[in-house]
Amino acid sequence: MGITSSVGLATGLNVDDIVSKLMSAEQQPAVLLQQKSTKLSTQLSAFGQIKSVMSSLQDATTALGSADKYAAMSARVSDSSALSATSSTSALAGSYNVKVLNLAQGQRVASNSGVASSVAAGTLTIQLGTYSTDSNNVTTFSAASTAATPINFTGSTLTELRDSINAAKTGVTASIVNDGTSDRLVLASDGVGGATGFQISGTDGLSGLSYDASTAASSNSFSSLQSAQDSKIEVQGLTITRSSNTVENAIPGVTLNLTAKTTTDPVVVTVSKDNSQATTAVQNLVKAYNGMISTMNAMTSYNKDSNQASVLTGDASIASMRNLARGALTQSVKLSDGSSMRFSDMGVTLQKDGTLAVDTTKLNKALTEQPARVAEFLAGNSSTTGLSKLASKTLDSINGTNGSLAGKTKGLQSSIDSIGKQLDSWNTRLTAIEARYRAQFTALETTISSMQSTQTYLTQQLAALPGFSS
């Protein structure tokens, strides 16, 4: 018969407690394997953190390879309400006086009152071109090379005409505005500049719609709201016109974005060397490197007071990676003029604790006085392999696809997977062992119970014998 409680009825043994203690002893190898797996997983996580900070260092090192950072120029304006300015690396340092005489704009006209009621099926033709006025104040229209666009209109309302004009995509956009008395059809150039002017002529049901700025106003069914014109500026007293409000290279290497006409005083545009991009790139590198050092130190430290080791204490590979990274960033680079340069020449030095520090004054001086030399040292050129590329190659040997970190993590993961398989095997075995123990105790209980039954039977038989006395 089976054991139905944790205490055997025949033996009085606490089977569950005995089996639990026996299994505790049997489980010791599996416990040790689990402890080893946990330790390896913790180490794998630690190497994951090192990989993360190493990736940040790689990114910061790669960022040093952009030569434009070291030749960057900035452009500042004295009045940002009139214009803004951006500069390229080809800009020349200096101050420039700029006046905004005109902003580039497109043409805009509005239909006269009463036009809405005379709209019917017909053809409306829009021709793009340029209006010009000579010294005698005579205005003429020069058609653009693009042919006039005829719009075949079959509707009868101003709204339908607006939609037909917009669907034709003539370079002119139509809208309807109510002036408080009647609806007005407003036509406006899609772009800006003197070449965005236009003429309008209609036939049949639209014969009453026309506009030509070079003719008498009385012959037009539209009124001018704004004439098309180019932008016009003065730079150092020289007049310059452009077809847009973005003016490039009026000041060499500088783009001016015009926003409003100046009134009296010119806007002063100051172009100067901009070290901010290069300074940020160097500071980001130092920050990333120090982050790597801090993480590695935390993973390998040993607390003498508490006798406590860290997760990677004693792992020689960490010291090797740290030494490689330090050597990669503090190495000397031979330049094309035969001289050599290293980070310390521009204010980045190694400290006693293994971190890097930046002397911003020395860094700014190097960037200002030797931009080409710094650019060659960090970014390289056709004849020099810069520090960015040299260091990146070394860092890739640590953190690349086939780098030492990848090998380390692959080995740890392999060990963890192997232990997992061993644990699965052990768990299967332990289940069988526990079943065997319980079967043995069940057999023991059955045997004892049987013996007890026999004893009871014999006692009863003996008691029935004549003359038997207890």
Strands annotated E in 206-304: 210-211, 222-226, 231-235, 238-242, 246-251, 254-258, 267-273, 302-303
pLDDT given for residue 23 in this prediction? 67
pLDDT given for residue 21 in this prediction? 75
pLDDT given for residue 1 in this prediction? 38
Choose between 150 and 34: higher pLDDT: 150
With a cut of 70, say whether residue 203 has pLDDT above it.
yes
Identify the band that residue 162 occupies on the pLDDT scale cut at 50, 70 and 90: very high
| Mean predicted confidence (pLDDT) in 29-38 | 77
Contacts of residue 354, defined as CB under 8 A and 6 or more positions apart, other chains included, come to 293, 297, 322, 326
The first and second tokens of residue 70, run together, are: 């070291």
| Nearest to 77, CA basis, from 60, 97, 59, 50 | 97
Tens digit of each residue's pLDDT (9 = 90 or more) over 236-245: 999 999 999 9
Tens digit of each residue's pLDDT (9 = 90 or more) over 69-114: 998 999 999 999 999 999 998 999 999 999 999 999 999 999 988 7
Choose between 69 and 9: higher pLDDT: 69
Average pLDDT taken over every residue of the chain: 88
- Residue 358 corresponds to which amino acid? V
For residue 402, with 0-12 CB atoms within 10 Å meaning exposed, 13-18 middle and 19 or more buried, which class applies? Answer: exposed
Among 54-63, 118-127, 401-410, the range scoring the smallest mean pLDDT is 401-410
pLDDT given for residue 120 in this prediction? 93
Length of the chain counted residue by residue: 470
Whole-number percent of the chain with pLDDT over 70: 95
DSSP structure string for 326-367: HHHHH--EE-TTS-EE-GGGGTEEE-TTS-EEE-HHHHHHHH
Quote the CA–CA distance of 341 and 325 in Å, as a whole number: 18
């095997």: which residue's tokens? 425
pLDDT given for residue 462 in this prediction? 78
Tens digit of each residue's pLDDT (9 = 90 or more) over 121-153: 999 999 999 999 888 888 899 999 888 989 999
3-state secondary structure 167-226: HHCCCEEEEEEECCCCEEEEEEECCCCHHHEEEEEEEECCCCCEECCCCCHHHCCEEEEE
The first and second tokens of residue 337, run together, are: 């003029």
pLDDT given for residue 53 in this prediction? 95
| Nearest to 146, CA basis, from 190, 111, 179 | 190
Sign of CA dihedral 422, 428, 432, 437: positive
Choose between 312 and 395: higher pLDDT: 395
Identify the band that residue 6 occupies on the pLDDT scale cut at 50, 70 and 90: low
Domain ranges of the chain: 73-103+232-273, 108-229
With a cut of 90, say whether residue 403 has pLDDT above it.
no
In the three-class reduction of DSSP (H, G, I as helix; E, B as strand; rest coil), residue 386 is classed as: coil
Tens digit of each residue's pLDDT (9 = 90 or more) over 253-297: 999 999 999 988 999 999 999 999 999 999 999 999 999 999 999
With a cut of 50, say whether residue 2 has pLDDT above it.
no
With a cut of 90, say whether residue 445 has pLDDT above it.
no
> First-to-last CA distance in the chain?
32
CA 181 to chain centre: 53
For residue 448, with 0-12 CB atoms within 10 Å meaning exposed, 13-18 middle and 19 or more buried, which class applies? Answer: middle
Tens digit of each residue's pLDDT (9 = 90 or more) over 167-201: 999 999 999 999 888 899 999 999 999 999 999 99
pLDDT given for residue 136 in this prediction? 87
Report which DSSP code applies to 80: T
- Return the exposure string of 330-368: e unless at least 16 CB atoms fall within 10 Å of the residue's CB, then b: beebebeeeeebebebbbbbeeeeebbebeeeebbebbe
With a cut of 80, say whether residue 8 has pLDDT above it.
no
| Nearest to 138, CA basis, from 198, 216, 218 | 216
| Nearest to 47, CA basis, from 389, 416, 356 | 416
